[in-house]
Amino acid sequence: MNNFEKLIASDRPTLVDMFATWCGPCKMMHPVLEEVKQAIGDQATIIKVDVDENQALAQQYQVRAVPTLMIFKSGALVWQQSGYQPASAIMDALRQFI
């Protein structure tokens, strides 16, 4: 089992930000994710995955656009959304699984 699989296997929800360093909207997500982390605390885990460095993972989850946000709970993909998302929408999604 690789590190990614260990992270998403948690009972706590894990928010995964699939991003690319060259992507403008991805850069806009950084402060939003910081805000989410402040609000959610340790009720959820947030990880960032560079799709250029992890192409197999991006293909496995059929990431067609960046940023793509995904929430995993106990190893299962329970929510996925592509494009810029406001903090309120991300927190509403996370709270469903906390």
- pLDDT (tens digit, 9 = 90+) per residue, 12-22? 999 999 999 99
Distance, CA of 40 to CA of 34 (rounded, Å): 10
- Asked if 26 is an active-site residue, the reply is yes
Distance, CA of 35 to CA of 87 (rounded, Å): 7
- Given CATH 3.30.470.10, say whether it is the number of domain 3-95: no
Distance, CA of 24 to CA of 3 (rounded, Å): 27
Instruction: Determine the pLDDT at residue 82.
Output: 96
Q: Using the 8-state DSSP alphabet, how is residue 83 labeled? A: S
The model's pTM is 0.95
Choosing from 8, 18, 26, 66, the catalytic residue is 26
When pLDDT is cut at 50, 70 and 90, the band that residue 2 belongs to is confident
Choosing from 7, 10, 12, 23, the catalytic residue is 23
Instruction: Determine the pLDDT at residue 56.
Output: 94
- pLDDT (tens digit, 9 = 90+) per residue, 40-97? 999 999 999 999 999 999 999 999 999 999 999 999 999 999 999 999 999 999 999 9
Q: What is the DSSP string of 27-77?
A: HHHHHHHHHHHHHHGGGSEEEEEETTT-HHHHHHTT--SSSEEEEEETTEE
- Asked if 23 is an active-site residue, the reply is yes
Q: Using the 8-state DSSP alphabet, how is residue 3 labeled? A: H
Residue 1 has pLDDT above 70, yes or no: no
